[in-house]
Structure 1
Amino acid sequence: MSKDLIGICDLTHTATGSYATNLMPYPIASIKSYLMHFSENKDDFEVKIFKDPKKFIEWYLSNKPKIVGFSNYVWNKELSCELAREIKSKDPDTLIIFGGPNFPLDDPSREKWLKQHTEVDLYIIGEAEESFTKIIDIWHKTHDLNTIKTTDVIGCFAIVNDKLFKSSEFSPRIPKLDSIPSPYLEGYLDEFLSDSKLSPLLESNRGCPFTCTFCVDGIKDRSRVYYKEVSRFEKELEYIATHYEGKVLTLADLNFGMYNQDIEISNAIANIKEKFNYPYYIQVSTGKNNKPKVLKCAEILKGSMSLAASVQSLDKEVLTKIKRKNIQEDQLLDMTKAGNKMSANTYSEVILALPGDSKEKHMDTVLKLADSDMNLISMYQCMILEGSEMGSKSSRDQWKMGTKFRVLPKCYGVYNFDGKEILCAEIEEICVTTESLPIEDYYECRLFALTEGLFYQDRVLVEMYRFLENFGIKASDVLRQLHKNKEKFSEKLLALYSSFYNDTRTELWDSKDELREFIKSDRTVIDRYYKGELGKNVLFRHRAIAALELSDSIHDEVFKIIEEMLKIKNNQAYLQYKDYLNELKEFSKLRKRNVFDYEKQYESEFNYDFKTLMEKDFEILPQKLEKSVKVRFFTNDEKKLMIKEQIAERGSDVDGIGKILSRTLGSMLLRNVEFENIAYEQSKKEKMVKEIEILEKDVGINQSPGEFV
């Protein structure tokens, strides 16, 4: 007897040769694991999981399964719906199940959504493992769509007799995550572990106690946190380490470091890394208000984990309106300093155009974070998510939010479904105006994001900022002056700002329907997205152009401005350290000049003790050496591997480099520095004596003076 085929899809666009979202399909693999363990009819099913839409289409057309599930996120909704629509047109009796957070919270909007998407038979809200398994067992007994739609399985929504039918709000949560058999240990993700373009995803807990209105995890149903046993987590991580050749791990935990167990998890990760040199870098959202535990986890992981303080805003009125509780500003400063001392990549996130936001509030937040010495400040726009409180009509009306639409970067493609060409792109809705943020202020804030990205992000000028602190000049002072003087920049930088401004204005559409019609109007439109003419991430793209081509120009502009600032603030200090500033500019240039050209090496001579400055993270004033020292700038093998892996996942074009720069890699994208052994810096007479002694002893004849250590 043949088995019933079930396809479960967590699809993502692959138009650019890489995955638009590069995480392994761990969530749907967990659904498969639960189904194959707890289903009453598990021996009668064969389940396939998919990430690549083309592979899924080929499999579907060859096998015609009667059950297909799709995940629904902002980055794959249109793709999932388009393919579901084609399946329904060929075989109306196929059961199509959707799940995921990209679904409205109120019943009138849910009903409208399901009526617009008649290809969807059933929508499961919340954790889907248990509900999906029960639905499959009911289908196995009845093979009847009407029975499925009127099921009493918790968390299921459908249209019945032209009205919304539901059994309850959310599917049941799983309090013991260990009860879900591990998809890694079951081998369900082996094919994805062998794909160098994907990154492993793992969780140690589920849930979020916070209620941020802009986030799909801010709903009450997900407020309680449930955990996985540390021993189980460690077994999964060891399996990944022995089956995966990359170095990056993404944790799905929403507040890592807030809980006691996270310290144990950190120790488990450190143990695996010591044995297998994996993971080299961990992507995770760290806790919002437990500084000591977060710092302890960062200390255990020794720089592998970025230390996040995602504030979104530091304005009290904005935070109240979005129901956000942040770490206190003094604690934020302490945590950032402590994180920097232990070489953890510190970063924060800021969202533009939140309710109550203004140009002054937004810029003040960014500048305060810069003064806290944060390594990376990611500046996002306010995406309106259907599954968030902010996505509701009441919130939009209450906060007078004006929105526009654009295509998500890399989330587009052309797909052949049994001879039919499908033109598809994902569209996001973003807030661009509020009662206190007019549209022109929005555009100015976007320009400020470019200024911050060029002159602060990723510790690009950290040595300079540390020096200026000695004379009372803060990072915020420099950034304000740079942004104020941006129209006086060099021709190349002016062209970059002009391009950024034009792209920012032209990427936005007033109507989602008009944008969708434009995308589907002609194949040549999608071709323009392929070529990068349309649909690029404007900020990341322009930061990438600057990193690849304009690093020297950036240094020239900022050092010109800070010299004038130091003259005004302390002319005596300027005269004393003028020569040092010239050397510092050269030293900084060589560390950061197109670091993606990782085989390129530079060598130069310096008269200041940069070795000691680096050891003290430039927190001391410079001292001049008695004699100049040669310095070599290069990329070590570990960083080369990291960069190669990122390029393999995201591409080597400008958009791929921009995506890499959007990640919290921080100091990993600086060249290594090697100093000439100062012991060899002796007078000519001393050198001659030393060489004679060596010859007499007949040792070390081939050793060259000035050899690097």
Structure 2
Amino acid sequence: MKIFIGDLAHSTIIITNNHTPLNIGFIAAYIKSILKDKVDIRLYKNPDKLLDDIKKDPPDILGLSNYIWCQSVSEDIFQFYKKIKKDGIAVWGGPNFPVNELYKAKQYLIDRPYVDFYIPFEGETPFLNIAKAILQFGNEVKGLKSLHPECFDGSFFISANNELIGNNIGVQIKDINTIPSPYLNGWLDSFLKQGLHPMFETRRGCPFRCSYCHTGLSHYNRGRSFSLDRIKKEIEYITKVFPDPTKAHLSITDSNFGMWPQDLEFVKWLNNHTERTGFPLSINSSTGKGRTELVLDTVMSHPKLTLTNSVQSLDENVLKAINRINLPFDQLKYSQAEIDKKGKISTPEIILGLPVETRESHLNTLRKIINIGSNLITQYTLMLLPGTEIYTDESREEYKYVAKYRLIPTQFGEYEGKRCFEIEEVSVGTRDLSFEEYLEMRVVFFFIQNVYSNNIYRPLINYLIYLGEDIIDFFSYLLKKRKEFGDEFPNKVIENYINDTKGELFNSKEELVAYYSDDNNYKDLLSGKKGINLSHTYRSVVFCNAKEWGDFVTSIFHEYLQEKYPSSNEILKIGNSIISHIKAQAECQYKFFQDRKNIPTKKNPIKAELDFDIPKILSNRIDKVKYPSFKEEKVAYSYFMRDDAIDHIKSFPEDQGRVNLALIILRMDISYSFPVYLKVENMQKIEDKQ
């Protein structure tokens, strides 16, 4: 029996979901280990390749994953498959399904008659059950459902009398080590050799119940781990198969990585492996929301790991409404202080548009995570995901979400003459947050991302906090003053961002599809003018215009100090040294992204003279007790980009479109974007050591 299984990804502009299809690898490895030569299984990521193979020799079973980034293309391919092979069995699975509202689940499948079975949770056992039933009883699907419904534990289906049937939904394998490794058994070799980055799982399950997340459902509360020996062998295998392991990005899918003793043991081993092999270039993970010391030890044990420290909100009423349990605030502060000592980075996330969140509570969350010294802050718009508590009718009625639809960035394509678009439903307002306030918060975050989270502005931020200023108020001042720049870059880029933030939203899926199906608008998608990730894209735009942006921020910073402290020459003089320090780095960033022939290096740096040793004094947070005043001393610094950063950026073609460059920046080592600076008198000593 022939089985095709796909976890599809659009690559119309660039493949953004550029990871190995680990999910379907697990299913294939498990089914093959039990049914052996009775089945011939092939795995797919590319929609065109799958369509070509369906045309040539359609499978007996077609299984596809269902996430928000691949729902539409999967639906279209199922319909195409059913036209080619009318007696084929279509199996869909994944979290993008209203499993916790059965009347919606029923209608979901009735609206999609080309889907025979739906697996909402772990797929290994339910898919095996379907394959075994077809091998035993044949592929006449209506008869199978009527005569042998007991064969399909773990799957939903619509019966002959239009009822939703689902037995033992959520069936799990108790010992997940009985699932053969898709890496060690070669299922993912072809994807690794294509350069798709390894997706990696060490543990399943999440102990938390957040209402906006799929893993908040009770099904996921039970945790199970793969053995340490197994995951070590998988890393060794991946390193051997990936074309250049020093350029691989390792994505760990665990919901709370670092919270378990095995995580620490694994990371210590991985650090030794990295020192030996250079694998990986970066590690993406979501660190745990508990067991602070263990998580910190884990993060400290590998230079590529960052501390997520995500909070989503710090308002107690919001946290109660979304069933969220954060680390206590004092532990968040402690964690940040500890990683600061080691020069590590935190990457906290917040969500805009959560239930009972107001403009003031959202700003207060931002203030708190800024004040504890968080590094790279990310703001997400609340997604209304099927299968989550947030998505339910009850939640919508209570919190009055202002629901809109937008294209998932770059997730579109044209297959067999039909255009398809992947769409997400988002909340851009609630009973407690107006749409206008939503837009305002998005713009505030623009400054957080492009000033606060850009390391070159850290001394400016630290000095304002030292003076007792509110960083959010300073960003509001920037927002007001930018209009004075008229047609210049600082004002234009913010105006464009605001217009794009409005323009990406539609009132219905149908409206969105009609708009982008128009030839002219579709061309805008192909060119990267529309349908992009605004945060990532505008971050890259600011980097490419780093000098103009730096001039804007520092000039308004100077005005701000003059307005607040008109009679303090010392504060203004310190401010001028901060400005010189920032401008030198901004020029480095500009040349790194826009003028590769002239990127500053250790041998050919940019130099700046300062009246105060700003890099020494303000690289970290300080207080007036330890530093009641700053010592004035003339110092000179050299600024340049790291050699490995220069090698990395030069490994890509110089002429990059907006989408490509945004992804390059997103995926590269965070530190590559930030210049190095050294006192001039120390340069020779440093170079001699190196």
Q: Please, what TM-score do these two structures have when normalized by structure 1?
A: 0.88
Aligned CA distance change for structure 1 residues 159 and 251 (closer, same or farther; 3 Å): same
Per the alignment, residue 406 of structure 2 pairs with 406
Does the C-alpha gap of structure 1 residues 579 and 395 become closer, same or farther in structure 2, counting only changes over 3 Å?
closer
- Maintained 8 Å contact 1:352/1:362: yes
2:468 to 465, 472, 494: 472
Q: Which aligned pairs between 1:227-376 and structure 2 lie closer than 5 A? A: 227-244=225-242, 245=244, 246-302=247-303, 304-376=304-376
Partner of 2:428: 432
Whether the aligned pair in 1 keeps the contact of 2:407 and 2:531 (CA below 8 Å) is: yes
Q: Which residue of the partner structure matches residue 189 of structure 1?
A: 188
SS of equivalent to 2:87 = coil
Q: Could you say what secondary structure the match of 2:356 adopts?
A: coil
Could you say if the C-alpha distance between residues 336 and 429 of structure 1 is closer, same or farther in structure 2, counting changes exceeding 3 Å? same
Displacement of 1:120: 0.5
Aligned counterpart for 2:39 among listed residues 42, 45, 48: 45
Alignment of 1:29-178 (within 5 A): 29-39=25-35, 42-104=36-98, 105-143=100-138, 144-150=140-146, 151-152=149-150, 153-168=152-167, 170-178=169-177
Distance in 1 (alpha carbons) for counterparts of 2:62 and 2:368 = 49
CA contact (8 A) 1:676 1:708 kept: no
Asked if structure 1 preserves the Cα contact closer than 8 Å seen for 2:198 and 2:248, the reply is no
Partners of 1:383 and 1:431 within 8 A in 2: yes
* Distance in 2 between residues matched to 1:258 and 1:542, nearest whole Å: 34
Q: Is the 8 A contact 2:55 2:84 kept in 1?
A: no
Structure 1 residue 458: Cα displacement: 3.8
**In structure 2, the residue corresponding to 1:324 is in which secondary structure?**
coil
Amino acid at match of 2:188: L
Distance 2:678 2:373 in 1: 25
Which one of 447, 452, 461 corresponds to residue 448 of structure 2? Answer: 452
Q: Which has the larger Rg?
A: 1
Tell me, yes or no, if the aligned pair for 2:157 and 2:166 is still in contact at 8 Å.
Answer: no
User: CA separation in 1, counterparts of 2:462 and 2:52?
Assistant: 56
Residue type matched to 1:584 in 2? H
1:287–1:610 CA distance, 2 compared to 1 (3 A): farther
Contact between 1:606 and 1:630, CA under 8 Å: does it hold in 2?
yes
1:596 to 593, 596, 605: 593
Provide the C-alpha distance between the structure 2 equivalents of 1:596 and 1:164, rounded to a whole number of angstroms: 58
Aligned-pair Cα RMSD in Å? 2.8
Deviation at 1:53, TM superposition (A): 0.7
In the alignment, does 2:627 pair up with 1:631?
Answer: no
Q: Which amino acid aligns with 2:11?
A: T
The 8 Å contact of residues 489 and 549 in structure 2, kept in 1 or not, is answered as: no
Residue 671 of structure 1 and its aligned partner are, at CA, apart by 2.9
Question: Partner of 1:217: helix, strand, or coil?
Answer: helix
In structure 2, the residue matched to 1:379 is: 379
SS in 2 for 1:307: coil
- The SS at the match of 2:216 is coil
* 1:540 counterpart residue number: 536
Kept after mapping to 1: 8 A contact 2:588/2:599: no
Letter of the 1:552 counterpart: K
Q: Deviations over 1:653-680 (max 9, x none)?
A: 2123334445695323213446545587
Name the stretch that deviates more: 598-607 or 287-296. 598-607
Q: Which moves more between the two structures, 210-219 or 528-537?
A: 528-537
Which residue among 650, 657, 678 is the counterpart of 2:661? Answer: 657
Counterpart code for 1:227: S
Task: Give 1:505's aligned amino acid.
Answer: K
Distance in 1, Cα, partners of 2:190 & 2:655: 21
Q: Is the 8 A contact 1:209 1:223 kept in 2?
A: yes
Bigger mean CA deviation after superposition, 397-406 or 458-467: 458-467
Q: Alpha-carbon deviation of 1:579?
A: 4.6
**Cα pair distance change 1:129/1:643, threshold 3 Å:** farther
Post-superposition shift, 1:203?
0.7
Distance in 2 (alpha carbons) for counterparts of 1:276 and 1:535: 38
Distance, in Å, in 1 between the alignment partners of 2:59 and 2:663 is 36
Gaps spanning 5+ residues in structure 1: where?
Answer: 682-705
2:301 is paired with a residue whose SS is helix
Measure how far apart 1:606 and its partner are.
Answer: 3.1
Indicate conservation of the 8 Å contact 1:33/1:182, yes or no: yes
Contact between 1:354 and 1:382, CA under 8 Å: does it hold in 2? Answer: yes
**Alpha carbons of 1:346 and 1:354: their partners in 2 closer, same or farther (altered >3 Å)?**
same
Partner of 1:607: 609
Tell me the TM-score normalised to structure 2 length. 0.91
Aligned length: 668
Change (3 A) 1:675 1:149: farther
Inter-CA distance 470–25: structure 2 relative to 1 (3 Å threshold) = same
How many percent of aligned residue pairs carry the same amino acid? Answer: 28
SS of 2:215's partner is: coil
1:8 equivalenced with 2:38 (yes/no): no
Q: Is the partner of 2:54 in helix, strand or coil?
A: helix
Cα 1:482/1:171, change in 2 over 3 Å: same
How far 1:289 moved relative to its partner? 2.3
Q: How does 1:549-698 map to 2 (within 5 A)?
A: 549=545, 551-567=546-562, 568-569=564-565, 571-593=568-590, 595-597=592-594, 600-602=598-600, 603-608=605-610, 613=615, 617-618=619-620, 629=636, 631-637=638-644, 639-640=645-646, 642-643=648-649, 652-662=656-666, 665-673=669-677, 676-678=680-682
Q: Counterpart of 1:500 in structure 2: which amino acid?
A: Y
Structure 1 residues 29-59: Cα deviation after superposition (integer angstroms, max 9, x where no partner): 11011011123xx212111101111111112
> Which residue of 1 is the match for residue 204 of structure 2?
206
Shift in CA distance, 320/595, structure 1 to aligned 2, threshold 3 Å:
farther
Residues 618 and 310 from structure 1, CA distance in 2 versus in 1: closer, same or farther, beyond 3 angstroms?
Answer: closer
- Which ranges in structure 2 are unaligned for 5 or more consecutive residues? none
The Cα of 1:165 is off from its aligned counterpart by 3.2
Q: Once the 2 structures are TM-superposed, how far is the Cα of residue 605 of structure 1 from its aligned partner?
A: 2.9
SS of residue in 2 equivalent to 1:336: helix
Query: Does the aligned pair in 2 maintain the 1:599–1:635 contact within 8 Å?
Result: no
| Cα distance, 1:640 vs structure 2 | 4.1
Per-residue CA deviation, residues 231-280 of structure 1 (Å, 9 max, x unaligned), is 11111011111221123100010101112221112112112212211123
Q: In the superposition, relative to structure 1, how do residues 350 and 579 fare at CA in structure 2: closer, same or farther (>3 Å)? A: closer
Please say if residues 310 and 350 of structure 2, whose CA atoms lie closer than 8 Å, have aligned partners that are also in contact. Answer: yes
Residue type of the alignment partner of 1:187: G
State the distance in 1 between where 2:217 and 2:306 align. 26
- Aligned partner of residue 423 in structure 1, secondary structure: strand
Name the counterpart of 1:697: none
CA drift at 1:347: 0.9
